[in-house]
Amino acid sequence: MKKSVFAAMSSILVLSAALAGCGGGDKAGEQGSKPAGEQTSGPKELRMNMMSEPPTADPALAEDSTSSAVLRATFDGLTRIGEDGKPHPSVAEKIDVSEDGLTYTFTLRDSKWSNGEPVTAKDFEYAWKRALDPKTASNYSYQLYYLKNAEEYNKGKAKADDVGVKATDDKTLVVTLKNPTPFFLELTAFYTYYPVNQKVVEGNDKWAGEAATHVGNGPFKMETWEHKSKLVLVKSDTYWDKDVVKLDKLNFSMVEDANTELSMFDNDDLDWSGAPLSSLPTDAIPALKESGQMQTRPIAGTYMYKFNTEVPPFNNAKIRKAFAYAIDRKSIIDNITQANQEPAMGLIPPTMAVATSPYFKDGDVEAAKKLLEEGMKEEGITKMPTLTLSFNTSEGHKKIAEAIQDQWKKALGVDIKLENKEWKVFLEDVNQGKFQIARSSWTGDYNDPYTFLDLFKDKDGGNNDTKWENPKYKELLNQSALEKDPEKRKQILAQAEAIFMDEMPAVPIYYYTHSYVKKDKVKGVVLDGLGFVDWKWADIQ
């Protein structure tokens, strides 16, 4: 998925069987609630910290983990990833899939927007076409390319009416895909596929920026948004499944400093500290581990540095690989992150891996020096200039950047300038190509390796800030979409990953884990294997 601020048959039953092997959710605490008489008195409020201001609360524009968490709370899709980590009907009450796997017919249940208006199939059709409209400039528009003619419309080669989504009446949405997509019902739980209220959107182009004008259809609704200070969500009385929502309020602070956040937790001002919305202070991790307070679980995510391949010297693949090979990942994990991460020797995390062996050796300084020398010769460079490594505000990012700065100096003799930016500014600058090397990360949007490889498919893809593109790589990904044999498809994807690792537009550093501490009274928060958080079933007991 998503850039992180820190670090899916003729019925739904057929789909559930097909996805039985997908990674499941993990409830942070015992699931279920006590009888009403045993509940804590007063409103049930969960207090957390998000390390930065959400860049947006508009499903079409979101591209990061902070925004996605807010959207998951305030919106609901045709499907929703349940407590078991699998997609289940949500706003859709019934789902029929054609035998060829190309046509999905969603029958909607009675549900309402937070302003009391009914949610209709037209809201979904409008939202999907809006995200695909080039004027919207959605960085995640490519996530809808599974629909027939969606890519063509987004690139100005087809009309909106040609896109494979149509509301045939208020309760029926018919979707036609380009190719059979086994994980499509996982995608319909993803935020780019959420509906939006057409009247609200077209009535105010700033609708998603303030609590007073924000309208969603999820378990919670916005009550307060004091920018860069706090965000308060309250239980929605119009949500179709409101009877299962136990929390009355989600209260988010916005504190950038991890040490301050942990102090707030220790002083009982927060009920949760750390992932998925922030990070624990690296210096505190050993003690938290030893005390047994810290909970850690792997997620399908890769922490990496990306190169701007359109500007020297990183237009040269050998130079990019030199910088990748010179990093000592194990020392970073042992001395800085310290949360059972694994060194990333490929782009795709272990739970989805297609490779049978590592693509290179960790900290291979000799190979790095040789590659740098060859790359500089090819580019006519006699001395490497001072280069800039950009990262967003975080103690952990800073320490990792300082360590790699030192490693590159010692191994390659290159001077690196570090540049720290606030999250929203950082995202905007990287999206606009204003960087040389930038901190990055990716967590899966669905449980398939394609979610990592697709990120780098098109030079102009919304989230491909490297601007790298390779014709053979694109051909292999297109081929994989047509291959029905799982093992052959895996081999095709492995060939694609090998091309990526040979050209190294981005440097994998480690595979993510989520580490956090929480109060014992917090139950039922769902953290899935992709790193998503859902508070629909959360409780304070």
Condensed to tens digits (0 to 9), the pLDDT of residues 360-379 reads 999 999 999 999 999 999 99
Query: Of all residues in the chain, what percent carry a pLDDT higher than 70?
Result: 92
Tell me the C-alpha distance between 357 and 23, whole Å: 22
Task: Kindly state the DSSP code that residue 334 receives in the 8-state scheme.
Answer: I
Q: Is 471 helix (H, G, I), strand (E, B) or coil?
A: helix
pLDDT greater than 80 at residue 57: yes
**Helix H or strand E encompassing 69:** helix 65-74
Q: How many CB atoms lie within 10 A of CB 26?
A: 16
Question: For the chain, which domains are there?
Answer: 45-264+519-540 (3.40.190.10), 285-515 (3.10.105.10)
Peptide bond into 385 cis (omega under 30): no
pLDDT greater than 90 at residue 68: yes
Q: How many CB atoms lie within 10 A of CB 343?
A: 18
Task: Kindly state the DSSP code that residue 136 receives in the 8-state scheme.
Answer: G
For 116-131, letters b (16+ CB in 10 Å) and e give eeebbbbbbbbbbbbb
Chain segment 168-205, per-residue pLDDT in tens: 999 999 999 999 998 999 999 999 999 999 999 999 99
Tell me the C-alpha distance between 37 and 527, whole Å: 28
Whole-number mean pLDDT of the chain?
92
Q: Is 15 helix (H, G, I), strand (E, B) or coil?
A: helix
Q: Which residues pair with 251 in a beta bridge?
A: 47, 232
Q: Nearest 5°: phi and psi at 323?
A: -65, -35
Can you list the positions of beta strands (E) in 128-229?
A: 165-169, 172-176, 220-226
Chain centroid to CA 529: 12
Q: Where are the alpha helices (DSSP H) in 249-303?
A: 258-266, 285-291
pLDDT greater than 60 at residue 35: no
Tell me the C-alpha distance between 513 and 529, whole Å: 10
Chain segment 255-274, per-residue pLDDT in tens: 999 999 999 999 999 999 99
pLDDT at position 19, please? 31
Task: Kindly state the DSSP code that residue 61 receives in the 8-state scheme.
Answer: T
Q: In one letter, which amino acid is 289? A: K
In this structure, what is the dihedral angle of CA atoms 402, 406, 408, 409, given to the nearest 10 degrees?
A: 130
Q: In the chain, helix, strand, coil percent, each to 5?
A: 35, 20, 45
Tokens of 172: 């029926």
pLDDT greater than 60 at residue 244: yes
Chain segment 409-423, per-residue pLDDT in tens: 999 999 999 999 999
pLDDT at position 3, please? 53
Query: Of all residues in the chain, what percent carry a pLDDT higher than 90?
Result: 89
pLDDT at position 4, please? 56
Q: Which residues pair with 391 in a beta bridge?
A: 420
Q: What pLDDT band is residue 14 in, cutting at 50, 70 and 90?
A: very low
Mean pLDDT lowest for which of 9-18, 44-53, 120-129, 395-404? 9-18
Q: In one letter, which amino acid is 382? A: T
Q: What pLDDT band is residue 462 in, cutting at 50, 70 and 90?
A: confident
pLDDT at position 461, please? 82
Chain segment 273-284, per-residue pLDDT in tens: 999 999 999 999
Q: How far apart, in Å, are the Cα atoms of 133 and each of 47, 138, 150, 199, 353? A: 37, 8, 9, 17, 34
Burial of 38 (0-12, 13-18, 19+ CB in 10 A): exposed
Mean pLDDT lowest for which of 26-30, 97-101, 219-223, 522-526? 26-30
Placement of tokens 């590659």 in the chain: 371
Can you list the positions of beta strands (E) in 63-196?
A: 79-81, 87-89, 92-97, 103-108, 165-169, 172-176
Q: What pLDDT band is residue 34 in, cutting at 50, 70 and 90?
A: very low
Peptide bond into 43 cis (omega under 30): no
pLDDT greater than 70 at residue 136: yes
Placement of tokens 């919106």 in the chain: 75
pLDDT greater than 70 at residue 320: yes
Chain segment 19-28, per-residue pLDDT in tens: 333 333 445 5
CB 203 within 8 A of CB 115: no
